């Protein structure tokens, strides 16, 4: 039984990834933190594609929750394998550095960087035993070039980019690939407070991207066809950089 685990899978890019991987007949583990209604909606949509799906509610930034929920699932399913891990969970809490609170810093770093570490460390040990795995980390153009007002988000995503490249080197011999996608402005709940009309002037393609466009790239990097790609960071941003 092959599973794909998608963190932050209840909405936006996460939901699109869940659906596209389910269409490839992967069973789906949908992680989410708090929005039960959206998670249940994603679960129903995935099940319509005739695969198994489960909700795993935990905060990726909380090691105790990760171990209690994800660790318990792994222990209770010894014959089933998490073959694909998509680290998509993350939050934005924008502020200029001089006004940024400790909690704004810690929450954003925790959801992206700590979450990557806690979840991946737990899953990758089983990939190493199976000698196969695909890990895709959702980072951001902010982590590549830095964005004013996003010191926390830029730092978190840049950290995951570095971790992606390092982990790729550690596990390559076991047929495990580790890559990242770096979206720009994508139409999701995370960017609904941003004005596409104002911001599209800085995007060569003159528009925001769609969640499906990011999900398609993630699905490719998760596939056997991407077997010789590892340690890569793929920008998906309409040409900003």
Reading phi first (left if > 0) and then psi (alpha if -120 to 50, else beta), residue 239 is in: left
Q: How crowded is the C-beta side of 206, counted as CA atoms within 13 Å?
A: 0
Question: Active site includes 228?
Answer: no
Q: Which of 26, 132, 153, 228 is catalytic?
A: 153
85-110 burial string, b = 16+ CB within 10 Å, else e?
A: bbbbbbbbbbeeeeebeeebbebbbb
Tokens of 241: 């950089």
What are the helix and strand counts (H, E) for the chain? Answer: 10, 7
Say how far apart CA 38 and CA 11 lie, in whole Å.
7
| Cα separation of the two ends of the chain | 40
Burial of 46 from C-beta contacts in 10 A (0-12 / 13-18 / 19+): buried
Say how far apart CA 182 and CA 90 lie, in whole Å.
13
Say how far apart CA 117 and CA 108 lie, in whole Å.
14
Say how far apart CA 6 and CA 23 lie, in whole Å.
14
User: Which active-site residues does the annotation give?
Assistant: 153
């Amino acid at each position: 039984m092959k599973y794909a685990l998608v963190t932050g899978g209840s909405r936006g890019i996460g939901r699109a990834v869940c659906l596209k991987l389910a269409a490839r007949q992967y069973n789906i583990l949908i992680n989410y933190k708090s929005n039960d209604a959206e998670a249940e909606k994603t679960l129903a949509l995935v099940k319509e594609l005739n695969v198994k799906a489960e909700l795993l509610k935990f905060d990726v930034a909380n090691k105790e929750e990760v171990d209690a929920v994800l660790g318990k699932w792994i222990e209770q399913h010894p014959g089933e394998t998490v073959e694909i891990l998509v680290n998509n969970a993350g939050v934005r809490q924008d502020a200029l550095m001089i006004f940024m609170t400790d909690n704004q810093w810690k929450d954003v770093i925790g959801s992206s960087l700590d979450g990557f570490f806690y979840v991946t460390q737990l899953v990758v040990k089983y990939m190493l035993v199976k000698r196969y795995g695909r890990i895709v980390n959702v980072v951001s153009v902010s982590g590549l070039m830095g964005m004013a007002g996003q010191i926390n988000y830029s730092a978190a995503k840049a950290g995951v980019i570095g971790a992606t490249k390092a982990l790729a080197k550690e596990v390559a011999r076991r047929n495990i690939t580790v890559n990242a996608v770096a979206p720009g402005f994508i139409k999701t709940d995370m960017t609904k407070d941003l004005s596409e009309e104002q911001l599209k002037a800085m995007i060569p393609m003159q528009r925001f991207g769609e969640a499906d466009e990011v999900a398609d790239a993630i699905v490719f990097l998760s596939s056997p066809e991407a077997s010789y790609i590892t340690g890569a960071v793929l920008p998906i941003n309409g040409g900003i950089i």
